[in-house]
Amino acid sequence: MANAKKGCVDDLATLSELNEEIILQELQARYHKDIIYTYVGDILIALNPFKRLGIYHKNNADRYKMTQKSLQPPHIFAIADSAYQAMLGVGGGSPKSQCCVISGESGAGKTESAKLLISQLVELSRGTSQLEQQILQVNPLLEAFGNAQTLMNDNSSRFGKYIQLKFQQGMVIGAKISEYLLEKSRVVRQSSGEENFHIFYYLFAGLSTDDQNKYGLTRPDKYR
C-alpha cells in the first residue's frame, strides 16, 4: 500500500508506514473529498463535515446490516453492525456485551455520533421505532440542562453520558442513560464569551412579560 494515492485508503493500518503526519495528510485528503470516516484498525476516525452529506438515509443503513466490515466503506453504521454481531456471537465467537467509546474535542460531533449509533443498533435489532424515538427524545432534555454555548461550540455537552441498551434474544428491549461529571460551576460563573446552560435562557424565552415581572426577572445578561 506504499504507493496508494492520498485519501484512497479506507484503513490506515494497512499502510506500510504510519505516523502522525501521514495520518493527518490522509485525513485531510479524505475530508476534501467529503469522506469523513476512516479506519485505523478497529478504530473509526470521524471528522465533522459541518454540512449535510446524505450518508445516513435508510438505503445506506441497509448496506451495513449483518455484513463484513471490509465489504463497505468506513461508516459509523459499520461500527454498530460489528458490535451487534459480536454481541450475538456471529462468526463463531461467544456472545459478549459490547461497548463503543466515543471521544473527541468539543464540536467533534460526539453527540450526533451517539445518536447515529443508537439509531442503527435499534434498526439492526428490529426494535420498535417508538423505542428509538423515546431514547433519542431524552437528548433534548439532557442537552437543555447539561449543554451550553462555549467559544468552540454553540451546543457543547458539559457532562459525560453513558448509554446502555438492553437486548434480549437479539432485540433491544430498553435503555438506561447515566450522566456524570456535570460542570456545575457554570451555573454561577462562565468564561468570557461563554454562556450558562441552555435551560437558563429557555426560562426567559418561555415566560411572558407579566411572568417575568411576577418572578422579578429582567434579562439573562443581567445575571452572573
Map grid coordinates 463497505 to a residue: 72
**Whole-structure pTM over 0.75, yes or no?**
yes
Distance CA(136)–CA(201), nearest Å, equals 22
3-state secondary structure of 172: strand
140-162 pLDDT per residue, tens = 899 999 999 999 899 999 999 99
Q: Map out the domains of the chain as residue ranges.
A: 54-222
162-176 pLDDT per residue, tens = 999 999 889 888 889
Distance CA(197)–CA(200), nearest Å, equals 6
Q: What are phi and psi of 49, to 5 degrees?
A: -80, -15
Instruction: State yes or no: pLDDT of 83 exceeds 90.
Output: yes
Domain spanning 54-222: which CATH class is it, in words?
alpha beta
Contact between residue 32 and residue 19 where contact means Cβ atoms under 8 Å apart:
no
Instruction: State yes or no: pLDDT of 138 exceeds 90.
Output: no
Label the pairing between strands 37-40 and 43-46.
antiparallel
What pLDDT score does 94 carry?
92
102-137 pLDDT per residue, tens = 999 988 999 899 989 988 998 898 766 677 778 778
